[in-house]
Structure 1
Amino acid sequence: MKKAPFALAAAALMLTACGSSGGTTESGISLIAEGKLTVCTNPPYAPFEYEENGKIVGLDADIAAAIAEDLGVTSEMFSTSFEGIQSGVALSSGQCDLALSGITITEERKSVMNFTEAYVDDNLAVLVPSGSSITGAADLSGAKVGVQQATSGEKYAQDAGANTVQYEDNGLLLQAVQTGQVDAVVGNITVLSEMLTSDETLTVVEEIETGEQIAGAVATENSDLLEAANKTLAAMEEDGRMADLREKYLGISE
């Protein structure tokens, strides 16, 4: 999917300084809040995270709840900017213990955070309104293309010669293509497919094979939580819970 400016980093550090004194699970894993696994996320980014009746729900929220349950605590989804998440600032400054936000594993991000095992394989895609002259990625050069900022979709569109327009979240991105502010959108197929369910005038004209993988992330020094999260993810793959979630949220039958 999103380099946090200095102001964001400073704000995050102030938040940490004023926050809870933290806690420890029965297994000895340190958390930033007593009895809670605080999880950074960036809705709306359906089907991974979105709000429903004032609560953040979705694939990532369900995974967070499973990890928290295994730790003997509750999960709390903390909404923050994706810039802060993908830059590692949200984790390193103590805004959250874990990040689950439809995060694509990249070498650059590996330098500022440690990733869990991947739980979704993904690709990019090009989405356009009906009647568009754009029939695929080859037509993106010179076009005004909406992207979520600091994502793999943004980089792909820029490399394709598009005039990219950044949006902070997918809700704004959807509005942009619906109202003609942009000619097309480039983003992850799992998320763009969700847009199609809410607007029949939109269509995906090309899926781009990128072999992307989506995973959770922890601060680079938080090896204990990483191990615990991976243990839960492995158990969910083994007992079929993860397959059920992928079918529920992504429509992937395994």
Structure 2
Amino acid sequence: MMQLRSRAITALLVTGTAGLALAGCASGAGEEPAEEGGVSLVEPGTFTVCSDIPYEPFEFIDDNGDTVGFDIDIANEIAADLDAELEVIVDSFESIQSGLSFDKCDAAISSISITEERKGNMDFSEPYMDDDLTLIASADSGITDLESAVGKQVGVQSGTTGEAYAQENGISPIGFENAGLQLEALKAGTVDAVLGNVSVLAYGVKDEEGFERVADFETGEKLGIAVEKGDTALLEVVNGTLQRLTESGELDELKATWFGEGS
């Protein structure tokens, strides 16, 4: 097993005026941003990442109160290549995908599917993972495929490709703020099924009984790391880190650690 660089991580909850205050501290003090190898960072010496937490196993808070996960391991590696500390700010996925996070973060790393619409708000790294959609239903729901899910209570994460796919296929989904709440609703029986990315939903019910993965959908989704549009210097570092992890085999080791062998 590879030894990842160990970095201290702080997860901050940013909402409403708190996010604006942090943005003001970064850009309103009249100081030039720090340069880390030609990269301008929001906070000198710190690689600040916005992430929608919890979204296991990509990013979540463990029993020790630490921010961990597949995406966080990658973020640590980017921070190391920048010779910077990593700080993780908890932000909503709606804010992340709209590009509003870049007033307080250097990058958004949160299992973000690369889409043409999102490319209008941010620039993406090379893909670091394929991630299609799946439909998981309770065993007694009567749901056996997408067609039989029409008219049922189907939970999705708001603002995601899973929500869009459900709507495109005649389902009126119930939106949840994050995948944790989406899965809790399935386990509590308040929804009949959930639709979303295989990596997260399959992981969330892998040790649970009474649920069936009834259908997978090859949507060709690829995940990428987002930076502010035009931030070519940071994007070059991010892509360099991903290339290093890929060529060394470390990225595959991380996938096996978080998603199981054969991921």
Could you say whether these structures have the same fold, taking a TM-score greater than 0.5 normalized by the shorter chain as the test? yes
Give the match for residue 153 of structure 2.
144
Corresponding residue to 1:72 among 71, 79, 83: 83
CA-CA distance at 1:114 after TM superposition: 0.2
Q: CA RMSD in A?
A: 1.8
Q: Distance in 2 between matches of 1:57 and 1:189?
A: 19
For the 8 Å contact 1:23–1:35, the answer to whether it is kept is no
Give the match for residue 188 of structure 1.
197
Report how many aligned residue pairs link the two structures.
245
SS across alignment from 2:78: helix
Corresponding residue to 1:206 among 202, 215, 223: 215
Give the match for residue 47 of structure 1.
57
CA-CA distance at 1:149 after TM superposition: 0.1
CA-CA distance at 1:35 after TM superposition: 1.0
SS across alignment from 2:202: helix
CA-CA distance at 1:128 after TM superposition: 0.8
Distance 1:137 1:252, change over 3 A: farther
- In the TM superposition, what are the counterparts of 1:85-96 in structure 2 within 5 Å? 85-91=96-102, 94-96=103-105
CA-CA distance at 1:199 after TM superposition: 1.9
Q: Distance in 2 between matches of 1:75 and 1:11?
A: 20
Corresponding residue to 2:24 among 17, 29, 47: 17
Give the match for residue 132 of structure 1.
141
Q: Distance in 1 between matches of 2:204 and 2:211?
A: 8
User: Any gaps of 5 or more consecutive residues in structure 2?
Assistant: 1-14
SS across alignment from 2:132: strand
* Aligned residue type for 1:18: C
* Aligned residue type for 2:214: V
CA-CA distance at 1:22 after TM superposition: 6.6
Q: Distance in 2 between matches of 1:125 and 1:22?
A: 46
CA-CA distance at 1:10 after TM superposition: 7.4
CA-CA distance at 1:237 after TM superposition: 0.4
SS across alignment from 2:142: coil
Matched-pair identity in %: 42
CA-CA distance at 1:9 after TM superposition: 8.1
- In the TM superposition, what are the counterparts of 1:101-180 in structure 2 within 5 Å? 101-180=110-189
Distance 1:160 1:71, change over 3 A: same
Q: Distance in 2 between matches of 1:73 and 1:213?
A: 27
